Structure 1
């Protein structure tokens, strides 16, 4: 009996040593990889001090109107994600792609991700970088909230708004999901910090699956695809992005509480999800038109949530319509 106990204790110690060794190896693997990510993620645009931290802005094109592109939640590298769209816009107008704190090439911040702070950060970024209104604001997905709040706070600077499958404030205000607890939870953070996420993304099949709703980035050059994966490893699950999810419902209610139909045009582009869209989403998308006195709703066929990765020509044409008004 004593021999059995001694063997059992030895097995436990051995297993514990193996587990600790694997954890240590994973932590080192993640830390070394994170340092390499930082070397690769050289800003393609410029960094500007906004509320004391560095915020990234990438601009191009020429014109009297600037199209400001706001990414959706979790879009790790907006510069890459919007590539198919701003390539279409550049010959016809000026554009500006910005990274919220915690995204792309911007710093992370200790400031709460409430919608007023985010909208004010964008306004300051546009000012310090020398951009001039009028702006046509483009919001994808959750980027709709900061876009609308910016328009509420600075209406004289806005010429129009285009939503790329952007959720309505009413939709987000009633959203009861707790995604923040999943993304910011122990198991997911353990996966990130021990290098398991990094290891999984060495597989082309896993990367392709993660880009499934972005048309597998078929319209993006290979070198930018690699940058996108690097940015995902660098930014996924950080405190700023998790806080955005926590604040989502409260932020939406702030926007709803200040609702007054805009006097400028609002175009709502809704994905058909290849015929698999949800009735409730379609309903709130149709009702989204109530946010402007001059609204337009278009359901885009044969597309997923990232419409601009499937039909950038269509999206660009809708934006340019508002640029020319």
Structure 2
């Protein structure tokens, strides 16, 4: 009996190894095809030894700079519901951090000041002129606020899209394991297989990308299956406590601040709401607004509300 069990375990192990080998090969070939198919839509610039991607457009005297939330595989596609509404009134620039979208990977530590320096250099290299309106989604509140702390003269105002209070983030346990697991699922081909079986599972938290054009949805899918859970993304999460604590050291912003908070379809957590209200007090010209019928990705549910707040800040 033990001999039969041992053989079964051996055969099962070999079978799993074959399946994983097929999966890794499948993912590698598919990702390579996607990379060749989806070439950069914006421009690539060398920043500290590696290339970063920035997508710009619009017209006007000021520039709105978009910083994507943690794990957003394609900031270019994710912010499209917003920049399409703003392009007639202002210039805009979508930043793709290292490890995101078309940008390359980097060996630089994912320290918040490194991220800010990279963003600033990318803006400079691409010819953008301050002062900017900085728009940060979710965890990108950290780099957005940090930019304003270090370079207040280059910032005209800040709009946060369900962006967390740095003090709130400093008390949260990093979900590094989740990022590592999802990264393994990607490299093993299991994520790609799951996406093809049930695409809605991946898109439902972003309103099924209702306001994103079909051709951009394809790009979004491609980068989800290329970038999800990579080393740079995982390292960002690993640094969340240190980064949040650094930003929390200076709670006095010299620029206008608008904090947009998703009501999570009536299920907003009390401690999160309190932290959002408190965050708005970091600026003497701060305000906090609860956006109904939306979750964390407010721009995928209520882009008009965000666009209106950005335009209002531009007029100040």
Partner Cα distance (1:293, 1:237) in 2? 38
Q: Pick from 271, 274, 277: which aligns with 1:280?
A: 271
**How far apart, CA to CA, are the structure 2 residues paired with 1:122 and 1:288?**
23
Give the equivalent residue in structure 1 for 2:305. Answer: 314
Q: CA distance change for structure 1 residues 10 and 169 in 2, over 3 Å: closer, same or farther?
A: closer
Which residue, 228, 242, 249 being the options, matches 2:234? 242
| Alignment equivalent of 1:178, drawn from 174, 182, 185 | 174
Q: CA deviation at 1:189?
A: 4.1
Paired with 2:63 and 2:174, the residues of 1 have a C-alpha distance of 35
Q: CA deviation at 1:183?
A: 1.6
Q: Match for residue 229 of structure 1?
A: 221
What is the aligned partner in structure 2 of residue 200 from structure 1? Answer: 194
**TM-score when scaled to structure 1?**
0.93
Deviation for aligned residue 1:7: 5.7
Q: Residues 13 and 163 from structure 1, CA distance in 2 versus in 1: closer, same or farther, beyond 3 angstroms?
A: closer
Q: Could you tell me how far apart the structure 1 residues matched to 2:157 and 2:14 are?
A: 61
Q: What SS does the aligned partner of 1:101 have?
A: coil
Task: Identify the residue that residue 109 of structure 1 maps to in structure 2.
Answer: 106
Change (3 A) 1:262 1:31: same
Which structure would you say has the larger Rg? 1
Residue 84 of structure 1 aligns to a residue whose secondary structure is: helix
Q: How many residues align?
A: 316
1:219 aligns with 2:211: yes
TM-score by length of 2: 0.96
Alignment CA distance shift 1:82-1:188 (3 Å): closer
Structure 1: give runs of 5+ residues left out of the alignment.
none
CA 196–160 in structure 1, closer or farther in 2 if over 3 Å, else same:
same
5+ residue gaps, structure 2? none
Contact 2:44–2:53 (Cα < 8 Å) also in 1: yes
Equivalent pair of 2:141/2:163 in contact (CA under 8 Å): yes
| Alpha-carbon displacement from aligned partner over 1:285-320 (angstroms, at most 9, x marks no partner) | 010112111011111111111111111111111001
RMSD: 1.5
Distance 1:257 1:16 in 2: 51
Contact 1:41–1:231 under 8 Å retained in 2: no
Aligned residue for 1:305, secondary structure, equals: coil
Residues 97-176 of structure 1: pairs in structure 2 closer than 5 A: 97-175=94-172
Q: Aligned to 2:35, which of 33, 38, 56? A: 38
Matched, 1:324 2:312: no
Query: What do residues 213-244 of structure 1 show as CA deviations (whole Å, max 9, x unaligned)?
Result: 21110111111111111101111110100011
Q: Distance in 1 between matches of 2:258 and 2:4?
A: 71
